C-alpha cells in the first residue's frame, strides 16, 4: 500500500484528498466539465461531489491499520450505479 511504503499519516492523506476534491469542485463551478456533462431533464448534476472539510473527514471510520489509514474517501457516491449510458436508436452519422 502506498501509505505504508511512503509512511504517510492519515492527516497527510486526507489533506491530499481534500485538495483534489476542492480542485474538482472548482473545475465544475468554472464550467470546465460542461462539455462532458449531459443534462437529463432538469438535472445537470447529481449530489456529488459536495462540500466537505478535514473535520468531517476525520470523523469517518478507518478501514484498517488501527485508525492510521483513512476510509476510501472521497469515494464514489451511492448513486454512482444510477448513472446512465446513452444508446442511440440510429447509428451515428459523420459529416465531411
Residue 11 burial (CB count, 10 A): 13
Q: Is 50 a domain residue?
A: yes
* One pLDDT digit (tens) per residue for the chain, 96 residues: 777 788 888 888 889 989 998 998 999 899 998 888 777 788 777 677 788 899 988 887 776 656 666 665 545 555 555 556 667 777 777 766
**Considering the domain boundaries, does residue 91 fall inside one?**
no
Q: Are 77 and 66 in contact (CB under 8 A)?
A: no
**Domain of 23, in residue numbers:** 2-82
- Is residue 94 assigned to a domain? no
Check: pTM over 0.75? Answer yes or no.
Answer: no
Taking every pair of Cα atoms in the chain, the longest distance, rounded to a whole number of angstroms, is: 61
Nearest by Cα to 82 from 46, 50, 49: 46
Identify the sign of the CA torsion 56, 27, 79, 65: negative
Does 87 reside within a domain? no
Whether the CB-CB separation of 21 and 49 falls below 8 Å is answered with yes
Structurally, the chain folds into a number of domains equal to: 1
Asked, for residue 89, whether it belongs to a domain, the answer is: no
Amino acid at each position: 500500500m502506498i501509505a505504508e511504503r511512503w509512511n504517510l499519516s492519515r492527516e497527510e492523506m486526507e489533506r491530499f484528498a481534500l485538495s483534489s476534491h476542492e480542485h474538482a469542485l472548482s473545475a465544475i463551478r468554472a464550467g470546465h466539465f460542461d462539455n462532458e456533462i449531459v443534462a437529463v431533464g432538469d438535472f445537470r448534476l447529481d449530489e456529488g461531489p459536495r462540500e466537505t472539510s478535514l473535520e468531517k473527514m476525520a470523523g469517518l471510520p478507518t478501514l484498517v491499520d488501527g485508525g492510521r489509514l483513512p476510509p476510501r474517501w472521497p469515494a464514489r457516491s451511492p448513486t454512482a450505479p444510477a448513472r446512465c449510458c446513452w444508446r442511440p436508436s440510429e447509428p451515428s452519422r459523420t459529416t465531411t
